[in-house]
Amino acid sequence: MKKKKRPPYNANSAIRSALRRTFSRSPIVREVMHKVRRERPWFKSDGSPAAKPRVEYLCATCNQWFMGKDIQVDHLDPVVDPLVGFLSWDVFVSRLFCDISNLSVICKNDHKLKTNAEKAVAVERRKIIKAQATLAK
């Protein structure tokens, strides 16, 4: 069996991941999640009440209730603007650790759709930049 090749170490990617992980554990994230949280009674298979209630969160996009594992906190204004791209670490950090009014709780499916749309815009921007660079040569 062949060994899987490990991609080369990317310092920017490691820093970005560490910052996002830190943000996900911040009080800002907990506060925004707490605002759309509800507890419901939960019962065991024998009909007796469970020790803890079931906790669900309301998706801001589809208005459905989801378990905690199926929701994510989303920046309304993307951390890296797909029309501009990465500017600097100062801009990245200030946009990542933003005001609570720029955050919403959405389900994983809606978050994936939003992220893919933003990625498509970024890909088009990079294609245009590449084409302009080719014409300039």
Question: Does the residue 60 lie in any domain?
Answer: yes
**Does 2 map to a domain?**
no
Sign of the Cα pseudo-torsion (73, 92, 16, 97, in order): negative
Res. 92: pLDDT tops 80: yes
- Contact between 44 and 50 (Cβ < 8 Å): yes
Q: In this structure, is residue 98 part of a structural domain?
A: yes
Sign of CA dihedral 85, 90, 91, 96: positive
Q: Helices 89-96 and 11-24 sit at what angle, rounded to 10 degrees?
A: 20
Q: In the predicted model, what is the mean pLDDT of the chain?
A: 93
What's this model's pTM, rounded to 2 decimal places? 0.82
The answer to whether residue 93 is domain-embedded is yes
pLDDT tens readout for residues 107-126: 999 999 999 999 999 999 99
Q: Assess if residue 24 is contained within a domain.
A: yes
Question: In this structure, what are the phi and psi dihedrals at residue 98, rounded to the nearest 5 degrees?
Answer: -90, -175
Which residue has tokens 């998706």?
A: 59
- Residue 64: which domain range? 11-136
Q: What percent of the chain has pLDDT over 70?
A: 99
Asked if residue 1 belongs to a domain, the reply is no
* Whether residue 16 has pLDDT greater than 90: yes
pLDDT of 7 over the 90 cut: no
- Write the CB contacts of 6 (distance below 8 Å, at least 6 apart in sequence): none
Task: Give me the count of residues in the chain.
Answer: 137
User: Is 90 exceeded by the pLDDT of residue 1?
Assistant: no
Q: Assess if residue 4 is contained within a domain.
A: no
From 45-49, 115-119, 132-136, the region with the lowest mean pLDDT: 132-136
5 part of a folded domain: no
Number of structural domains in the chain: 1
